[in-house]
Amino acid sequence: MTFYSKKVMNHFLNPRNVGYIKNADGIGEVGNPICGDMMTFYIKVSNNRIIDVKFQTFGCGAAIAVSSMVSEMVLGKTLEEVQCLTNDDVAQALDGLPSNKIHCSNLGADALHKAIENYKSKHQNDNILKK
């Protein structure tokens, strides 16, 4: 039997920032074929800060809780701050995850990092034109 912290249960039962962003600045999607979890993060960026974030997750309670926590942790942060987010940061923010669910925290951080990579690749030409 797997036991979850109160924070994990709260984010699973009341997930924050669920949905998608139409015309998102960046989209990141990851999946784990072994457990079946799929996460997609959508971000809106202004002045190098994440001003909106939404997610869609298909998976277990831990995956949903991780997605919800990640979305709260990054809102208002700079892209550089968010790129430093680790799976350990996410697990700690949730007061821990069972060892068999720690891979979910990897997925959350990875999906968000992919959304930032997607944003940067879309805006790479903008930076070249400014120079």
Q: What angle do CA 70, 82, 87 make, to 5 degrees?
A: 50
Local structure of residue 75 (DSSP, 8 states): T
Q: Domains plus CATH for the chain?
A: 6-120 (3.90.1010.10)
Residues classed as catalytic: 35, 104
Whether pTM exceeds 0.85: yes
Distance, in Å, from the CA atom of 95 to the CA atom of 69, rounded to the nearest integer, reads 11
List, for residues 86-116, the tens digit of each pLDDT value. 888 998 999 988 887 777 777 888 999 999 9
Spell out the per-residue pLDDT of the chain, length 131, in tens.
Answer: 568 899 999 999 999 999 999 999 999 999 876 777 899 999 999 999 999 999 999 988 888 999 999 999 999 999 999 999 988 899 899 998 888 777 777 788 899 999 999 999 988 766 555 54
Residue with tokens 């070249």: 128
